[in-house]
Copies of this chain bind each other. A is one copy, B any other.
Amino acid sequence: MPLAFADRLNNVETSAIRELFKLLGKPGIISFAGGFPDSAMFDVAGIRAASERVLAEEPGAALQYGATEGYQPLREQLATFMQGKGVAGLAPEQLIVTTGSQQALDLLGKTMIDPGDKVIVEGPTFLATIQCFRLYGAEVISAPVDGEGVQPDALERLIVEHHPKLVYLIPTFGNPSGATLSLERRKRVLELAARHQVLVVEDDPYGDLYFGEAPPASLLALSAQVPGSREWLAHCGSLSKVLSPGLRVGWLIAPPELLARAVMCKQFSDAHTSTFAQATAAQYLKSGAMPATLAHVRTVYAERAQAMGDALRAELGDAVEFVQPRGGLFLWVRLTGARGQERDAGALAKRAIDKGVAFVPGTPFFSQNPDAATLRLSFATADVAKIREGVARLGQALKG
């Protein structure tokens, strides 16, 4: 008799992207497949200085067990950081530190989702969110997205039809869509939350990575303008894309009764996030280095995004359509099939590997009704020369 596993595992299927990632080890491949920042952007000197201060000034606390809610100096720094992004009056006690924002999603699932519950996400959305919620037995409904983010009318129809436990959105520089919800739509979404009394989860790992003008304020910041919306809003933040994923520092802001239950669930999930990593992040934020780090990252990614957009237009022409990203890490492409060219991104991905370039086909990012003509390109981890060469290879793959 083999081991008998829990039924929840039957809801999840992870092979699609894993199979692809196995091919990435091929020598000489240029990868646009990753969902991570460029290691060369890390402020190693600043992080080293922060961790040295931690071990000089607060070793006992930083190496000991800590409060499940988070290391208090970090909660204070993060509250200040969020205030700087327009979230007026946020107290440290209104956020908890999570082990990356992935854990915030897991805690929301554990706290909110019963088997058979429905949740609404964007189509497409972050793959690990779909799987995370499915592990708690959720039926994941897909709401349509365009270049301005989720469509509020369609979203409202789905809310009325499905009575979801929550609505999960990446309103700013979405993964994988790259789309940013317009200011008008942000207010509409907040009104929907309040009117239909449905929890809206705003995942915001990319909002600081804008290339020109800053994006509209977060749903959290805007909730002050929409009566009754704040009590139906949770917000997930992360240092992974702007400072370092390896610290695994994210945070969750939510109404008090939800936050208290998330803390209880976190207590039995990992007790607390690494205090050493939390204290290091707190010292880093306190040092005042973050604005310069952000400015640097924005400049580099902006240049790469521009290079990728230019190369795509030059090399692939009318075979592709996309919205030029104004921030984030991703460029979302639709194969048009013009002049009989390839429209299946999965088939193209296999040919692309042969030509020495990798990307992720769009299908796995849809919880329902996948668009097989879509694909995600990351412009974050290759330099401009590699981006041009990689897109040229993509052009060759498209030609067969």
Contacts and interface: CB of A to CB of B under 8 A. Distances in A.
B63 A52 contact: no
Contacts of A114: 6-8
Given A106-B270, A128-B268, A264-B9, A165 B64 contact: no
Given A48-B55, A269-B103, A247 B63 contact: yes
Interface of A: 1-9, 12, 14, 36-37, 39-40, 42, 44, 47-48, 51-52, 55, 59-66, 98-100, 102-103, 105-106, 110-114, 117, 128, 131-132, 135-136, 165, 197, 199, 240, 244-248, 255, 257-258, 261, 264-265, 267-277, 279-280
B246 A63 contact: yes
A147 B268 CA distance: 28
A44 B55 contact: yes
Contacts of A275: 245-246, 248
9 contacts: A4-B112, A5-B112, A9-B111, A9-B264, A39-B61, A63-B247, A106-B270, A135-B265, A274-B277
Contacts of A265: 9, 135
Contacts of A276: 51, 244, 246-247, 274, 276-277, 280
Given A47-B63, A269-B269, 5 more contacts: A4-B112, A9-B265, A44-B63, A51-B55, A131-B268
Contacts of A268: 12, 102, 105-106, 128, 131-132, 135
A143 to B, nearest CB: 21
A344 to B, nearest CB: 27
A169 to B, nearest CB: 18
A267 B14 contact: yes
B110 A135 contact: yes
Contacts of A257: 2-3
B106 A269 contact: yes
Contacts of A135: 110, 265, 268
A52 B42 contact: no
Contacts of A105: 268
A280 B110 CA distance: 31
A109 to B, nearest CB: 8
A247 B274 contact: yes
A3 B61 CA distance: 35
A205 to B, nearest CB: 12
* Candidate in A8, A40, A131, A274 with the most chain B CB atoms within 10 angstroms: A274
A266 to B, nearest CB: 10
B100 A270 contact: yes
Contacts of A52: 48, 52
Nearest to A104: B270
Contacts of A14: 264, 267
A194 to B, nearest CB: 12
Contacts of A1: 197
Given A36-B64, A42-B63, A110 B6 contact: yes
A135 B14 CA distance: 24
B246 A66 contact: yes
Contact of A36 (B55, B65, B246, B269): B65
B99 A274 contact: yes
A111 B44 CA distance: 37
Contact of A64 (B61, B106, B245): B245
